[in-house]
Structure 1
């Protein structure tokens, strides 16, 4: 009987080994149904190449952040060659100049019916500005820009350097510019400045952005006017630097809104449906005329732990808002905001993420209609570089019209976003069968041991 049992066990092990060693040949011919979603493309001209503006849905519904699961099919169900690329960013250059600083004393007075304020320096420089009776003005500083090549540089930013104070403080300052000390134009109103300490961390907002979407004039003079109810009395400005930024990238972005979960009066979590390679984050207070110092953390997936991202102050004052937070290629699925020594009243800050717009060009092989599809976790990258798809020498004369788009269709559905490859399926089967083999083998050994023990008990002493 023992030999019969051993023979059955060997037979069963042979069948398991044959099953584990067998692997079905995967079907490498993809079809649109292998992908979650698709959109028919409308190509009326008979051109060899067409450009496609990707629907916004693509950015949130691809299974991979790098969009490797994009395909273009023709009417025969065959994939056609395509290129996926981003707009090339221009090189950004910065140059800075130290500015001469002249502290000014204020003397309010009236010139007819118009209230004015005259600002005088110890060296005799005098500046006269109209005075708004509804606003109070405090300390004022005159800045002189050095001349360069018979002109004055067009400054984009002013960076202030001050002696660090033992206490936290926030202030607001307005900026004027003038070519001759006589005619003055208000550039920025109530720009925020702050120097906050929380434990060993320091949050510094010391730069005023002058661009505001406009071309900056070549001004010789700038004037900083602090609000008298916000400026620390012992604030010592040691230097002011003018910064010119040229060659800013004219990049196109697609904006993706997150789901928001308020955790407390000073903490909120913002999450996206899938990890995103954001280029920048736009964060601003929900209330107007507000300044919020924030600590920002991020995670790359739902199972990831939180990592520090940045500490910064965001503001929304009049029609001015803080600049977006530029990122360095971090993959972000969620962020968490914490107020630094401050709570936000009512709604938490408003957040959105921006990633670069991707562009697609495909070769119209076969017959129309063509279909753009996306959303397949098992897909490998097939996109070519633009120069590989289209020889660079033909770019100048080649016509590439835009393909129209119909409505987005559901093809394989959302389950394709988490699909597994054939190799992964075989691996899961093999792992499951291996565990089953180990469990059955252990059970067999237990039964064999019990049988041996019983036989020993039956033998006469």
Structure 2
């Protein structure tokens, strides 16, 4: 009986040991050195196509980062997302004083304007009537040379301390004005300390002219005006592109590719080497072992002359389903590819890895473990409650060595699948032996109990 318990304990210990070894770097097929740039302690790594392909799972649950001592590091795995990018510019603009009667509204300031053919303000002439009773009521800013939306004014003035309040109006023709914003300048000095507010926010609209009007008091002399403008554009999420893959030509107009494993491909790019190419095409896919092809996408790729430059469309969006075999059918009526080989690139959704270094380097990225469990933390947990990392504390990580050719990845992944199957088989054998041993122990106890002699008869 003691021998049976010893055997059972040894089997359980072996099972636990097999599971515990999954977090050692040596148990991952790929171990890629990392080069760090910046002070950290957080570092960001954009995962290339070859690394995502080398993983055993589409969700990259088998990805780990280790330090020199083989200790796993905390990390968060995020999808690359689109973002709003802003390009800002600044420009000093001409200033023109607006004179008007002190007793009338500020908007009654009289002006006579001369403009160049491009609309730029050349000269602003005051009416000579009652010049001795007029005061400085505001300023006209010529912003016609700025094409982007206006987001901020930066003003410098010559006056004593105090608050300067004014309205801001916009116009495109100097005749029709619309209210844009309210502004306030501040300059205060006390005990050798100075407080200044020279910036005024604008609502991000385009205009050719701005008018600043002081309503309750004469305007202050402005010495300089700088207008800040910005153009916002949406940048799509980054994609991870593969190396160039050459397809196998089948029938006329049909080409075939096979990937090492099924991948959620979201875009393809076909090489158009010659000018004046027009390629109506259909894309089909199937996974390994499936007999039938399924439609994936259809479109027209082209490289043709345009009005001023060549017009080119060599990419086609895909729905992001996991595919392993890809077939491209090109309509021969468009002329086809001619003698050039069918070379395309595939794109996966971009993935970013943010990890927190601990312990000494060098550090390495490990992946390629079929039995690994997810280890990615929520981003706020990794950052100690913040939603975004601080730029000053986030460096860049780069891979110094990784699989470069899909053929190498394919052969290694085949070995990995065999190794994973072997590990699963070993675990099942251990479990079945343990169950059999427990059954044998139970049967032995029941048999011994049945053989227990009863009390002696009188």
TM-score with structure 2 setting the length:
0.49
When normalised by structure 1's length, the TM-score is 0.49
